[in-house]
Structure 1
Amino acid sequence: MSSLYSRNKDLSSRSRKSLSDSPPSSPSPSTKTFRQDRASSRSDSSGVEASSDRLAARTSTYTRRENRLASLNKTEDDSASKDYKKLYEDALAENEKLKSRLENSKQELSKIRSQLDKVTQEKEALGKRVSNMEEELKVLTELKSDNQRLNDENGALIRVISKLSK
């Protein structure tokens, strides 16, 4: 129990030190007026009026504080709602830009696909032409070899005929 008492004693002495160690500040004009009001209300003869004045002062202070906080919250809410509105509008504008870019990309993609289809068709047509030409080339080589063989046979026959006619 003595340890608890010593702790409480230390805490109370600390709080006294912190209050007494702080430098005295000059009272503001509103504080001076408040002190004068309190002093005059204390000097009133009836204690009921003084306590009701104190209660009214507390209530008015409380009301002023509440009004001030409400106005701060209201401006924060207004600015927050404006920020959300601006953010929403910015997001909408960004979405529109992205939609137009997407549409342009889709159009460009369709053009490129049609070009690719044309090129593919041309490539297939060229491939067919090449294969046809290769076939013709084979036929021409066979014809040349046949022609050469026939020329050789013709020359041999001419020689045989010329020997027989002598």
Structure 2
Amino acid sequence: MSFHFLRTKDLTCTRRSVTDSPPSSPSPTDKSFRHDRLSRFDSSGGNASYRLGRTSSYLRRETWFGSLNNQDQDTTSKDYKMMYAEALQENEHLKSRLQDSKQELVNIRFQLDKLAQDKEALEKRVSGMEEEMKVLTELKTDNQRLKDENGALIRVISKLSK
């Protein structure tokens, strides 16, 4: 950084920065100085060499983070591969269990249908037996009535034969 020495009224020298000095008309040496200074700056006003150093350090840092990221990605990709393999294995296991359950469900439905048919057959048989019981009770009552009539006829015949 350049400094200008200014003299005050009491003839003492004070040191001031170029940026602290008020704007004045440029002298030929100031023009070349500004030109040198501006040539070191890029169009955005920043120092080009500083920016390059900052960019390269940025790139180094990004590369380092990227390598860490790659290691993490390798680890995570291995983890994902392992998790994927485990998930596939579990899916196959669950599919086989599902297939077994479906087969068992088919067997149970078959047995249920068979039991339903047996129940219907038994209900028909029971209703048939109930009809037979009605007929048998009617026959018993008819048989009892006939026995009573037969006994009455036997008594009438025995009175007539005396």
Taking the aligned partners of 2:123 and 2:58, their CA distance within structure 1 comes to 93
Unmatched 5+ stretches in structure 1: 1-56
Question: Which residue does the alignment assign to 1:29?
Answer: none
Q: 1:87 to 1:163 in 2, by over 3 A?
A: same
* TM-score after normalising by structure 2: 0.61
Structure 1 residues 76 and 163 mapped into 2: Cα distance closer, same or farther (>3 Å)?
Answer: same
Distance 1:87 1:132 in 2: 66
Report 1:111-150 matches (<5 A). 111-150=107-146
Distance in 2 separating the partners of 1:63 and 1:157: 133
One-letter code aligned to 2:113: D
TM-score (norm. length: structure 1):
0.60
- More strand, by proportion: 2
What CA distance in whole angstroms lies between the structure 2 residues aligned with 1:97 and 1:73?
35
Which of 151, 154, 161 lines up with 1:158 in the alignment?
154
TM-align CA RMSD:
2.4
| Aligned residue pair count | 113
1:102 paired residue number? 98
Q: 1:153 to 1:79 in 2, by over 3 A?
A: same
Deviation for aligned residue 1:69: 2.6
Q: Which amino acid aligns with 1:163?
A: K
1:72 pairs, out of 43, 63, 68, with: 68
Cα 1:108/1:155, change in 2 over 3 Å:
same
Gapped regions of structure 2 (runs ≥ 5): 1-52
After TM superposition, give the deviation of residue 64 of structure 1 in Å: 5.2
Q: From the CA coordinates, give the structure whose radius of gyration is larger.
A: 2
